[in-house]
A and B are shown apart, each in its own frame.
Chain A
Amino acid sequence: MDQILFIVFAAIAVLCGINLVLQSHPISSALSLVGVMGALALIYLQLGGEFIAAAQLIVYAGAIMVLFIFVIMLLNAGRERETPRRLWVRWAGLPLLFLFIALMAYVVQRILPPSDEVRFGSYTFGTAEAIGTRLFTTYLLPFEITSVLILIAIVGAIVLARKEVE
């Protein structure tokens, strides 16, 4: 059952990822990216990451993608123009991509012991309680620095996007 669920969600993620790269309209790409993120959230859940799965859906698929779609609608971004590319880029790009994936798969298969299997429910450190305890004890300083980072990002975004006033 675990394997079937993984294959289904992985297939959804990969197909949506391919669609993201191939679509020429940014709205189609954005909706494909939402699909990838939803599928990945379910895979996180299978790996025992309850908190991260919820955060993925709320922060990524919810907040960030709404921001993207908002900007696409605001700028009225249309279909992408086809620009001519160099010959070797057109012919060597896809084989290089497959070579990279094949190399990664080979290395991963060689390094990891084949007996190691993932089963749903055997990992219990991913609950909100466990993550919260860790976040507010061991990782307290990074957490606080992150809040400063977000503050800087908010100020930066407002400064960049405001209208100039004399």
Chain B
Amino acid sequence: MPIPLVAGVPFSWYLILSAILFALGVAGFLFRRNIITVFMSIELMLNAVNLSFIAFSYHLKQNDGHIFSFFVMVVAAAEAAVGLAIILTIFKNRQTLEIDEVSTLKN
């Protein structure tokens, strides 16, 4: 067991942290009822995947992963703009943010 003051971080820890954050995002996505919180859980999942990209980029000594995570950020920004506009429209038409009450497409 190396002493923690000089030891580097094992590479697998980053991937495990990424898995934990992704699982938390999935849990929030499935269990929350507020549409904004569900949306924030999706952002959490995207962040977890970004961490994997950066970690593998370090592992393979390339910077392609950085560029991919940059694109993920850009797409997340576009997605947030459109998604929040949809949430605004839903609220304007139905006066609710509960996803259980927005079920027109069900059945």
Chain A CB within 10 A, most for which of B5, B23, B30, B76: B23
**Complex Cα–Cα for A114 and B88 (A):** 49
- B interface residues, tally (CB under 8 Å): 72
Instruction: Say yes or no: A77 contacts B12, CB within 8 Å.
Output: no
| Cross-chain contact of A21 among B4, B32, B64, B82 (Cβ < 8 A) | B32
Nearest-neighbour CB distance to chain B for A88, whole angstroms, equals 13
**Complex Cα–Cα for A69 and B44 (A):** 15
Instruction: Say yes or no: A2 contacts B50, CB within 8 Å.
Output: no
Is the contact region of chain A dominated by helix, strand, or loop, or is it mixed? helix
Instruction: Say yes or no: A75 contacts B85, CB within 8 Å.
Output: no
Instruction: Say yes or no: A153 contacts B78, CB within 8 Å.
Output: yes
A1 within 8 A of B: yes
- Given contacts A26-B37, A77-B34, A157-B81, is CB(A114)–CB(B10) below 8 Å? yes
Interchain Cβ contacts within 8 Å, total number: 232
**Complex Cα–Cα for A18 and B89 (A):** 29
Instruction: Say yes or no: B70 contacts A55, CB within 8 Å.
Output: yes
Instruction: Say yes or no: A17 contacts B24, CB within 8 Å.
Output: yes
**Complex Cα–Cα for A4 and B19 (A):** 20
Provide the A2-41 mask, 1 if CB < 8 A to any CB of B, else 0.
Answer: 1110100010011001101100001001100100110010
Instruction: Say yes or no: B21 contacts A157, CB within 8 Å.
Output: no
Instruction: Say yes or no: A71 contacts B84, CB within 8 Å.
Output: yes
B50 / chain A contacts, CB cutoff of 8 Å: 40, 52, 56
Q: Give the interface size class of chain A.
A: 35 or more
A36 / chain B contacts, CB cutoff of 8 Å: 21, 44, 47
B25 / chain A contacts, CB cutoff of 8 Å: 17
Residues 12-51 (chain B) with a chain A CB within 8 angstroms: 12-17, 19-21, 23-28, 30-34, 36-37, 39-41, 43-44, 47, 50-51
Residue of chain B at shortest CB distance from A118: B9
Nearest-neighbour CB distance to chain B for A141, whole angstroms, equals 12
- Given contacts A108-B16, A126-B66, A135-B70, is CB(A101)–CB(B97) below 8 Å? no
Nearest-neighbour CB distance to chain A for B62, whole angstroms, equals 7
Nearest-neighbour CB distance to chain B for A157, whole angstroms, equals 4
| Cross-chain contact of B85 among A55, A56, A81, A157 (Cβ < 8 A) | A157
Nearest-neighbour CB distance to chain A for B56, whole angstroms, equals 10
A154 / chain B contacts, CB cutoff of 8 Å: 81
- Given contacts A117-B8, A160-B86, is CB(A20)–CB(B47) below 8 Å? no
Residues 37-58 (chain A) with a chain B CB within 8 angstroms: 37, 40, 43-44, 46-49, 51-52, 55-56
